[in-house]
Amino acid sequence: MRLIAAQSPLDAALVALADPTRRAILRRLTKGEASVTEIAAPFALSLNAVSKHIRLLERAQLVERRRSGREHLLSFNPSPLDDVAGWIEAQRAVWTARLDALDAMLTAENRARARTQTKKGRYR
């Protein structure tokens, strides 16, 4: 299977963040620049496997790479996380809208009930 081409930056960020190894890599990079070898050291994974994780993080622009002599140094770029935070906010807004709708429905039911009871001559 191949990744769909029309992946938005947010898609890439969410995919990247969905994996615990990649989150661990990012946590490491929040402490400062590191080489691929340094990043791979704490993981029981091949260098190749770690490189694939790093490529996904780079595609999501969460990780940037620069060359220093023969070494590739990686650093953390937090800006795509703003999109993720924005998306989570959008989800919150959806639930808030649903609970608004629930409130409106309950209020309408209260009114309908009050009307019915008034018609029947009962007190509330």
Binding site for another protein (CB under 8 A): 1-4, 7-8, 10-11, 14-15, 17-19, 23, 26-27, 49, 52-53, 56, 81, 84-85, 87-88, 90-99, 101-107, 109-110
Least Cβ distance, residue 115 to another protein (angstroms): 17
Q: Which is closer to another protein, CB of 2 or CB of 67?
A: 2
Q: How far is the CB of 55 from another protein (least distance, A)?
A: 9
Exposed, middle or buried: residue 52 (CB in 10 Å: 0-12, 13-18, 19+)? middle
Report the residue number, 7 or 118, with the smaller CB distance to another protein.
7
End-to-end CA distance of the chain: 63
Whole-Å CA distances, 36 to 6, 24, 42? 28, 13, 11
Residue 95: other Cβ atoms inside 10 A: 9
Least CB distance from residue 70 to another protein, whole Å?
Answer: 27
Report CA 111 to chain centroid distance, whole Å.
41
If the CB atoms of residues 52 and 72 are measured against another protein, the closer one turns out to be 52
Nearest to another protein of 47, 94 (CB atom): 94
The CB-of-35 to another protein minimum distance in angstroms stands at 21
The sheet that has 34-35: what strands, in order across it? 34-35, 71-76, 63-68
